[in-house]
Chains A and B, each alone.
Chain A
Amino acid sequence: MLGYAGKILYLDLTIGKSYTEKLSEETAKKYIGGIGLGMHLYLTKSKKGTEPFSPENPLVLSVGPLTATMFPTGGNGHAFISKSPATGGVGESVSHGTFGTELKRAGYDAVVITGKAEKPIYLLIDDDSIQLRDACQLWGRAPSEVEDAIKEEIGDFYVRVAAIGIAGEKLSKIACIINDKTRAAGRTGLGAVMGSKNLKAIAVRGTNDVTIHKPEEFFNLVKEFHERMKGPATQKYRTMGSTENLMQQNSMHCVPTRNYNNSHFELAENISSTVINQHFVAKIIACNSCAMRCEHEVVIKDGAYRGTMARIEYDNLWAFGPNCGVDKLNSIIKAAERCNYFGLDAQSVGGIVSFIMDCYERGILTKENLDGIDAHFGNASAMLSIIDKIGKREGLGNLFADGVKVAATKLGDKAEQLAQHIKGLEVTGYDLRCLKTAALSCAVSFRGADHNRSGAVTIDLKGKVDRLKAETGRGKLVKDLEDQFNIIDSLIVCKNAKNTFYKDFEEMTKIYNATTGLGITQQELETAGERIQTLAKLINIREGLTRKDDTLPWKVMNQPITEDVPAKGAVVTKDELNLMLDDYYQTRGYNKQGIPTTVKLQELGLSDYLELTETKEA
């Protein structure tokens, strides 16, 4: 079983004890690694109804079988898994960079952290040595500062660090975990789970070898994928970057603008990828093992924010640009940098700022509620002030630091209609009203609103289907992509490099076998993708999520697109959503309530969890 480290580390922060267990070949084959293995460990090591901030709630950190190998983008990923404070269901977030490589070389495929330290600590994993070290001096500091301080303290430049910022310390449900300074396990609020354990950072140093089963075959694949990465499959990411999406989507009127009041941002040209690349990109850098490099590192050259450095992708550009009606790149970049500083999920922060602005313009919120801030759409300095208060949970931050769902519940019905979230997680930059396959995929996404659980949005955007139509068959499209994405997030390879897998599962099976020697079939890997999806569903079912949670934000279902474009009038009606949900559940082998059938669980080798579904089967 090469590729894998073969060991899982269990750590209880309350008593400061750790032990290891062997990773069995069976578990490896069944759950692969990354989110698959992580969710398996989460489900088996947690109890029903555990509160996200309870010491008993495990936080799982995992890597994949390809991590720390030379396979391009396979080498660099890691995933965090826990119960999400934002959704109350399964929380998972994958990040890239270099952090995961050290964990694998330290000898672990996963770390399961439970308990709560008495005072702030950080965890140092130095091969076999597991140390809980004092982090009182690090409390209140930004993840990048923490990384530098730990490197200094340990005296090793190559120690890799994943840390939370002030937001995580203050249990903000939109807090993330930052590694390698600009990379984030952003979604589902797992930074707050770390904060609840008084765990400021995880530092890793590993010196063990990572070897592979069939070097010749492995290197042939590396060579092939290096070539593909220089070709059209990755062109967007390598050249202009994902920010190129903005102008493309804008022309199709599917850029949610001003909290879904519009589907087109009339000022988009001012913040286009052309402007970003001409005036701000200082360097495009790579994660470990990657042959395409896509991380567009931007630096502000002049003005009040001179010297500010951040990573800009479509996602945070959208969150602070169109979504807040802001067309000033300096402010958007500053906002992205502030999110890294506080350890906040930029997507969710953009969601909450635009929600505040929407409430303000409709009179639900006034200056008095907002510490005197004039929160009109487009007011860039208001956006930055709000972010600061959310990051520090000061003033208005008390009401808004836990995301739009929590805030809207406190503000009443009218505000709830403006809260653009699914399952408690803020939406991303794709107008679901006119991207109906994406709408289905976001409704059923186990971690809440997110295009990254299936990438079904590309089916709509590329015109492979009528994006304005909800019809039978979309369930299958979404299912197939979800299964693929589950394997992508379990191996772990990068989604930006997804198109380099010309033959998805076939080539993923090849690289898996060349690395591990476990000799699984393509069918087995496909089934693993399906199994991981249903496993996530089982966690959500155990925690009380039902069909009614597989839904869409109010505006997506009730506020049609107004602009005079082909998508004019588009919404996803209740009937349309129900049609697509029925279709999807049926394709998945779930009943009408979205509960996996006994037959399906048995087929997927998940019979151990039958008790979770038995009472709910209709």
Chain B
Amino acid sequence: MVSVHNRKFVSADPEKCVGCQVCEYACSFNKEKTFNPIKSRIRAVRVNQIANMAVTCRLCEEPACAAACPRDALIQSRENGAINIDKDKCNGCGWCIEACDYGAMMLHPETKTVYTCDLCKDRPDGPQCVKWCPEEALTVVTSDVLAQKARLSAIKKLFNEKT
């Protein structure tokens, strides 16, 4: 199993995210050849006008979604930590949706099985939301790199350097 330190997931920088929902369009088109946010693996959330952030699967250690599935339909990939979903086993019961703290597990409107971010494993250029995000608010990163970035920006701020 890939170590949690090396597990890369799609992360949104709330400072940069402007709530444009381009990620939703890019995702749903790549995955389903249609523009439809309810078929997107990433969702933009606007809590109020100044609080915007896109959310998708965090590739958790010991993922609650997989643990909650009574049919063992959700298996975490040993290679990259993504959640693989066995559509034949999934019956759309939604326990994994309840279990996920991030709302990253979703029920497909047509197949009635769950789906989540697979990091666009079918695309050589990686996650399409990251590619199309006009604000460069999305990145594919590990938690360790996120921590590094946060430290750097905090210290730069302290010394009034441009971030």
Chain A residues positioned under 8 Å from B132 (CB to CB):
70, 222, 226
CB distance from A279 to the nearest CB of B (A): 15
Contact B22 A70 (CB under 8 A): yes
Q: B: which residues have CB within 8 A of A?
A: 18-22, 25-26, 29, 32-39, 46, 48-50, 52, 109, 132, 134-135
- Which of A72, A210, A229, A288 meets B36, CB within 8 Å? A210
Give chain A residues whose Cβ lies under 8 Å from the Cβ of B39. 209
Contact B109 A207 (CB under 8 A): yes
A209 and B110 CA atoms in complex are apart in Å by 11
Residues of B with C-beta under 8 A to A511: none
- Residues on B with C-beta less than 8 A from A226 are 132, 134
> Which one, A291-299, A490-498, A535-543, A610-618, is touching chain B?
A291-299
Name the one of B22, B29, B34, B52 contacting A285, with C-beta atoms under 8 angstroms: B52
- A453 interfacial by beta-carbon distance below 8 Å: no
Give the residue among B21, B34, B46 with the most A Cβ atoms within 10 A. Answer: B21
Which residues on the A side are within 8 Å of B26 (C-beta)? Answer: 70
Q: Is A519 an interface residue (CB 8 A)?
A: no
Q: Is the CB of A289 within 8 A of B20?
A: yes
Do residues A75 and B134 form an inter-chain contact, with CB atoms below 8 A? Answer: no
* B25 x A75 contact (CB < 8 A): yes
CB neighbours (8 Å) of B35 from chain A are 68-70, 75, 209-212
Distance A222 CA – B25 CA, assembled complex (angstroms): 12
Contacting residues, chain B, for A222 (C-beta < 8 A): 132
- Tell me if A211 and B20 are in contact (CB < 8 A): no
The reply to whether the CB of A287 lies closer than 8 angstroms to some CB of chain B is yes
A545 at the B interface (CB under 8 A)? no
- List 16 additional contacts besides A72-B134, A158-B37, A230-B134; criterion CB under 8 Å: A70-B22, A70-B25, A70-B35, A181-B48, A181-B49, A207-B38, A209-B34, A209-B35, A210-B36, A211-B35, A283-B18, A283-B50, A288-B21, A289-B21, A291-B134, A309-B48
User: Considering only CB atoms, which chain B residue lies closest to A294 in the complex?
Assistant: B18
A290 interfacial contact with B, CB 8 Å: yes
Which residues on A sit within 8 Å (CB–CB) of B18? 283-286, 293
**Shortest beta-carbon distance from B52 to chain A in Å:** 6
Alpha-carbon distance A208/B109, docked complex (angstroms): 10
Tell whether A105 is near chain B: CB-to-CB under 8 Å.
Answer: yes
Which residues 21-79 in A have Cβ within 8 Å of B in the complex?
A: 68-70, 72, 75
Instruction: Report whether A105 and B33 are in contact in the complex, using a CB–CB cutoff of 8 Å.
Output: no
Pick the most buried of B21, B38, B49, B109: most chain A CB atoms within 10 A of its CB. Answer: B49
A207 and B36 contacting across the interface, CB-CB below 8 Å: yes
Residues of B within 8 A of A210 (CB): 34-36
Q: Is the CB of B34 within 8 A of A293?
A: no
CB of A215 within 8 A of chain B? Answer: yes
For A309, what are the chain B residues with a Cβ–Cβ distance below 8 Å?
A: 48-50
- B46 proximity list for chain A (CB < 8 A): 285
List the B side residues contacting A208 at CB < 8 Å.
Answer: 36
Contact flag A297-B20 (CB < 8 Å), given A211-B35, A289-B25: no
For B52, the closest partner residue in chain A by CB is A285
User: In chain B, what residue has the closest Cβ to A223?
Assistant: B132
Would you call A287 and B36 a contact (CB within 8 A)?
Answer: no
Q: Which of B29, B33, B35, B52 has the most CB of A within 10 A?
A: B35
List 27 A–B pairs whose Cβ atoms lie within 8 Å, in order of A's numbering. Answer: A69-B25, A70-B29, A72-B22, A72-B134, A75-B21, A75-B25, A98-B21, A105-B36, A158-B37, A209-B34, A210-B34, A211-B35, A212-B35, A215-B33, A222-B132, A283-B52, A284-B18, A285-B18, A285-B19, A289-B25, A290-B22, A292-B134, A293-B18, A293-B20, A293-B135, A297-B50, A309-B48
Write the nearest CB–CB distance from B2 to chain A, whole angstroms: 32
- In the bound complex, CA of A72 to CA of B134 (Å): 10
Give complex CA distance A445, B53 in Å.
Answer: 40
Residue on A nearest B135 in the bound complex, by CB? A293
A247 sits at the interface (CB 8 A): no
Within the complex, the shortest CB–CB distance from B10 to chain A, in Å, comes to 18
Distance to closest chain B CB from A166 (angstroms): 21
| 65-121 of chain A: CB within 8 A of chain B | 68-70, 72, 75, 98, 105
Residue of A69, A286, A287, A311 with most chain B CB atoms under a 10 A cut-off: A286
The distance from the CB of A336 to the nearest CB of chain B, in whole angstroms, is 13
CB-nearest residue of chain B relative to A219? Answer: B29
1/0 contact string of A207-243 vs chain B (CB within 8 Å) = 1111110010000001000100110000000000000
Q: How far is the CB of B121 from chain A (nearest CB, A)?
A: 20
Q: Which residues of A contact B25 (CB under 8 A)?
A: 69-70, 75, 289
Residues in B neighbouring A285, C-beta threshold 8 A:
18-19, 46, 49-50, 52
- Per-position contact with B for A506-521: 1 when CB-CB < 8 Å, else 0? 0000000000000000
Q: Which 10 A-B pairs have the closest CB atoms?
A: A291-B134, A286-B20, A70-B25, A209-B34, A283-B50, A286-B18, A293-B18, A210-B35, A297-B49, A282-B50
C-alpha gap A283/B39 in the complex (Å): 28
Give the complex CA separation of A570 and B25 in angstroms. 51
- Minimum CB–CB distance from A283 to chain B (whole Å) comes to 4
Residue among A105, A230, A290 making CB contact with B20, cutoff 8 Å = A290
The smallest beta-carbon distance between A277 and chain B, in angstroms, is 14
Contact residues of A between 180 and 216, Cβ < 8 Å to B: 181-182, 207-212, 215
User: Shortest beta-carbon distance, B129 to chain A, in Å?
Assistant: 12
Q: Chain A residues with Cβ under 8 A from B20's Cβ?
A: 286-291, 293
> Shortest Cβ distance from A51 into chain B, in angstroms?
37
Bound state CA distance, A314 and B64, in angstroms? 49
Q: How far is the CA of A338 from the CA of B78 in the complex (A)?
A: 55
Given the contacts A286-B20, A291-B20, A299 and B38 also touching, CB distance less than 8 Å = no
In the bound complex, do residue B49 and residue A283 qualify as a contact, i.e. CB atoms below 8 Å apart?
yes
